[in-house]
Amino acid sequence: MNYVATLIVKTQSPERLEKGVALARQLIEKAGAEFGGMDWLSPGQAVDLFFSGASLAVIKPLLGAAMQQLQIDSFAQTQAGRKARMLIADMDSTMIEIECIDELAAAMGVKDQIAPITEAAMHGQIDFGEALKARVRLITGLEVEQVERIRDRRLSYSPGAKTLVATMKRAGANTLLVSGGFTFFSDFVARELGFDEARANRLEIKKGRLTGRLRPPIFTAQSKRQALIEVRNALKIPSDQTLAVGDGANDIPMLEEAGISIAYHAKEKTVAVADARIDFAGLEAILFFQGYRRSEFVTDEAKPESYRP
């Protein structure tokens, strides 16, 4: 069989997933493909359906629309080479559940001014670099101690974040965290989750307070794409074995560059360029999409020593 379609539900729901399997098989066969059986990656939660003899361009939109109605995440792809050798992931609202700049703004009492700029930038309605500078100016004077308290009290990880990174690393993949946010957060998150490397913007600090400026160069959407290319080339990883995940418009260049691109609980503009979308499940869905079984997941949360800030 040339192709595989993976179906995933957020939590174990055998009845809903079986309904999805029946509908997916019907759509696959209606499209003129030969159904080649299935394999449960996690009983009642994730399953692979194998097929051949039809165009992915035809089956993917049909399958995606049908599974959305059932609140099932799905991804139809070529079966060969599913496991990526490089993971590049956005931070805010992807690996973590918050937007760090919005939390800093709340501490300054200017969240109402900053949040709309963040939202417009994530939808690609305004230039990300200019939007970032404008938001950073609004948090001028914030004490570093306040930033530390926000990081310690407000930061929370997306479901499956640690398992995703740990499992791919054990399989030999390189892991890179990228963010249009700040190294103050990304270095911490990278250490906690076990990423090999993190790249982000650097806040300028003087006398224990934020100056309202960034230390150049500014890390932009194009910087994320360039980071993917640099690491991929340095490690001699084929393009089709790189996997990128993000949620906002500033993730689009790296998603377009990656061999496999996944939009995670993302804006529609981002979804439009991605190979797959995750709207219901957590980040563990990325492992299922690659063909990992739940029995292969690494859930040990010990911090690896490989991170280099």
Which token pair is 78? 């070529």
Q: Is 240 annotated as catalytic?
A: no
By the 8 A CB rule, do 114 and 101 touch? yes
By the 8 A CB rule, do 103 and 150 touch? yes
By the 8 A CB rule, do 177 and 244 touch? no
Catalytic entry in 48, 73, 92, 102:
92
Which token pair is 300? 């040990």
Q: Is 102 annotated as catalytic?
A: no
Question: Where does residue 291 fall: left (phi above 0), alpha (psi -120 to 50 degrees), or beta otherwise?
Answer: left
Which token pair is 297? 């997941």
By the 8 A CB rule, do 70 and 16 touch? yes
Which token pair is 95? 């690996």
**211: burial class by Cβ within 10 Å (0-12, 13-18, 19+)?**
middle
By the 8 A CB rule, do 26 and 50 touch? no
Catalytic entry in 39, 48, 73, 90:
90
- At 122, the amino acid letter reads M
CB-based contacts of 296: which residues, under 8 Å, 6+ apart? 167, 287
CA–CA dist 71, 65 (Å, integer): 10
Tell me which residues are annotated as active site.
Answer: 90, 92
